[in-house]
A and B are shown apart, each in its own frame.
Chain A
Amino acid sequence: MTLNIQNLAFTHGSAPTLHEINATFEAGRLSVILGPNGAGKSTLLACLAGLLKPNKGIANLGDERIIGMPATSRAKRIGLLPQGAETHWAITAEALVALGRIPHRRGAGPSADDRRAVSAAMRATATEGFAHRPITQLSGGERARVLLARVLAGEPEWILADEPLANLDPGYQLDILDLLRHQARDGKGVVAVLHDLHHAVRFADHVVLLHQGSVFAQGAVDDVITAQNLATVYGIDALLSKDEEGATQLLIKGKMRS
């Protein structure tokens, strides 16, 4: 299964504009969207999630157009972890995770499937320990895991995460990245917008690098994250090397001198 974008363009008011985007995301991989602020990363993710309607071009899930899918069936297949870890009301962690079941809900109460999916999602994210605590009392790291569990509870085929690591300490960032990678290994499609190039180098199976609303480069990490590309897109002077285990190491030395 693929998420496929062809000639996609998006213009709206002050929102970052996308032009002529062509990209393919494969299930079973952790794909990362990179690019400087305002490059259009979140806009692209919102088009993939069906939240924004592109002016032109198509976004397909398999053979189906994402725009035009009934909202509920789209929500069942594509889960979005929005930017900003926004939550309101002091509901319990478990109640928050259960919100992920909304597209599946029919009758008044949760079904056996709903309960099973919620507890599986909480187990996968190691959040059962504070299931009954109000989310307002959780630490940032705990809350990030609960919010991810909310997406997993919907059992989507695709997980789209918009800056899932923002405001997290390094340990918690690695927790979330591990969880996302694990989901990809289990066969789900995972697309994450990231800011930290080090994380992208370490965790990404596939990278799409955006620059001023267009795809600057896409493909395997070593082909996309090159000193040349980083200099052009981010204006930074970076050193890439292989360590003794063959893993790529990134060192950002500073801004490019012009």
Chain B
Amino acid sequence: MTSRSMTGLLLLLTLVAFLLSLMAGKVWIWPTSWTADNADGWIFVELRLPRALLGLCIGAVLGLSGAVLQGYLRNPLADPTVLGVSASAALGGVLAIFLGINLVPFGLFGCAMVGAGASILLLLAIARGGGPIGFILGGMVLSTLAGALTAFVISIAPNPFAASEIINWLMGALTDRLMEDVFTALPFMVIGALLLLTTGRALDALTLGENGAKSLGVDLFRLQWIIVLGVGLSVGASVAVSGVVGFVGLIVPHLIRTFYGEQPSGILVPSALGGAILTLTADSLVRLIPGPGEMRLGIAMAVLGAPFFLLLLLRYRKGPA
């Protein structure tokens, strides 16, 4: 199968997963009642549509960020959390809940974006002129620091209810999001994703190492800026609106590589589509598991993703490669 027809297939699957996400749940809502003037129509417009749109966008930016970061660091274990952007955005969100700012419109989103923005500025200052190693170490330090501060905030939460609200938010979910959330997060995600999509050729050049890339005229400093801004804006916004949803950025580029080959530029768009498919499908499944309440998307993703990933690794081992 050519890569063009595979991308066509991925687009089709994205559409199917999106439609599934619009319909699936404790109550199935068929397309005939999407515009109906009753409870079903209301659920569709107020609950399902924003949720499906967010799943689509968050999955896409996480998959794309993972592919870009793995290419940049030339390390298949990198994912959007390595830069510390997710952890910093999460810290912002947690502080918002702790201080009650989440009750103000856009308070939680704003605080999380401030957290993401702070991590972007710090990263750029730390990594100035340095190569990927300084960059990733800076990201890890930021990530650890933000994680520790988050744990600190939880530990001083005034009552168990506040602590549980914080922990619940941290685990990542797309429940009860509104169209306003979509419209707030979308511009950041779109700008971030567009920035990341311009990196393909530079990432390809990095296949030859840093000196090889530089000798091909690639400006590594500029590339670093684009990646920090792109990941910061898109992943920051996705954490701000849904909490931390892990695993997509790590696993999706791997899966895509087995079909598309390993050229970094070739897997950017497919990874975005794959991320959207995985997130939408997982988010539909958590709604369908019977029982009270819902499994958190972040947890479901790990529960579903980890065994799948292990299976893939085992098959790799047995294969000729």
Interface residues, chain A, with chain B CB atoms under 8 Å away:
46, 49-51, 71-76, 78-80, 82-84, 86-92, 95-96, 99-100, 102-103, 105, 147, 150, 154
Closest-by-CB residue of A relative to B212 is A82
Query: Can you list the 8 inter-chain pairs with the closest CB atoms, starting with the nearest?
Result: A75-B217, A86-B209, A80-B215, A89-B262, A71-B217, A82-B211, A88-B74, A72-B217
Best-buried of B211, B215, B263, B321 by chain A (most CB within 10 Å): B215
In the assembled complex, the Cα of A73 lies from the Cα of B321 at a distance in Å of 39
Q: List which B186-222 residues lie within 8 A (CB) of chain A.
A: 201, 204-209, 211-212, 214-219
In the assembled complex, the Cα of A96 lies from the Cα of B218 at a distance in Å of 16
Residues of A within 8 A of B212 (CB): 80, 82, 86, 99
User: What are 11 of the A-B contact pairs (CB < 8 Å)?
Assistant: A51-B211, A51-B215, A71-B217, A75-B216, A80-B212, A83-B211, A86-B208, A87-B207, A91-B207, A95-B261, A99-B207
Determine whether the beta carbon of A46 is less than 8 Å from that of B211: yes
Best-buried of B74, B206, B212, B262 by chain A (most CB within 10 Å): B212
Given contacts A89-B262, A89-B263, contact A75 B215 (CB under 8 A): yes
Closest-by-CB residue of A relative to B263 is A91
Main secondary structure of the interface of A (DSSP, over half): mixed
Determine whether the beta carbon of B215 is less than 8 Å from that of A88: no
Residues of A within 8 A of B80 (CB): none
Determine whether the beta carbon of B201 is less than 8 Å from that of A88: no
In the assembled complex, the Cα of A78 lies from the Cα of B321 at a distance in Å of 36
In the assembled complex, the Cα of A76 lies from the Cα of B217 at a distance in Å of 8
Given contacts A75-B217, A82-B212, A88-B74, contact A99 B262 (CB under 8 A): no
Min distance, Cβ A182 to any Cβ of chain B, angstroms? 21
Interface residues, chain B, with chain A CB atoms under 8 Å away:
74, 201, 204-209, 211-212, 214-219, 261-264, 321
Closest-by-CB residue of A relative to B75 is A88
Which of A46, A50, A105, A147 is in CB contact (< 8 Å) with B201?
Answer: A105
In the assembled complex, the Cα of A92 lies from the Cα of B264 at a distance in Å of 13
In the assembled complex, the Cα of A96 lies from the Cα of B206 at a distance in Å of 11
Min distance, Cβ B123 to any Cβ of chain A, angstroms? 22
In the assembled complex, the Cα of A147 lies from the Cα of B207 at a distance in Å of 11
Determine whether the beta carbon of A71 is less than 8 Å from that of B211: no
Which of B74, B205, B211, B261 is in CB contact (< 8 Å) with A91?
Answer: B261
Determine whether the beta carbon of B207 is less than 8 Å from that of A78: no
Closest-by-CB residue of B relative to A69 is B217
Residues of B within 8 A of A154 (CB): 216
Min distance, Cβ A148 to any Cβ of chain B, angstroms? 12
Determine whether the beta carbon of B214 is less than 8 Å from that of A88: no
Determine whether the beta carbon of A99 is less than 8 Å from that of B204: yes
Determine whether the beta carbon of A84 is less than 8 Å from that of B209: yes
Residues of B within 8 A of A96 (CB): 207-208
In the assembled complex, the Cα of A44 lies from the Cα of B209 at a distance in Å of 19
Best-buried of B211, B218, B321 by chain A (most CB within 10 Å): B211
Determine whether the beta carbon of A51 is less than 8 Å from that of B262: no
Closest-by-CB residue of B relative to A70 is B217
Given contacts A86-B209, A88-B207, A89-B207, contact A102 B215 (CB under 8 A): no
In the assembled complex, the Cα of A96 lies from the Cα of B217 at a distance in Å of 16
Q: A71-B217, A91-B262, A102-B204 are in contact. List 9 more A-B contacts (CB 8 A).
A: A51-B214, A74-B217, A75-B215, A82-B212, A86-B212, A90-B261, A92-B261, A102-B216, A105-B201
Which of A50, A72, A87, A103 is in CB contact (< 8 Å) with B208?
Answer: A87
Determine whether the beta carbon of B209 is less than 8 Å from that of A82: yes
Residues of A within 8 A of B218 (CB): 71, 102
Residues of A within 8 A of B321 (CB): 90
Residues of B within 8 A of A76 (CB): 217
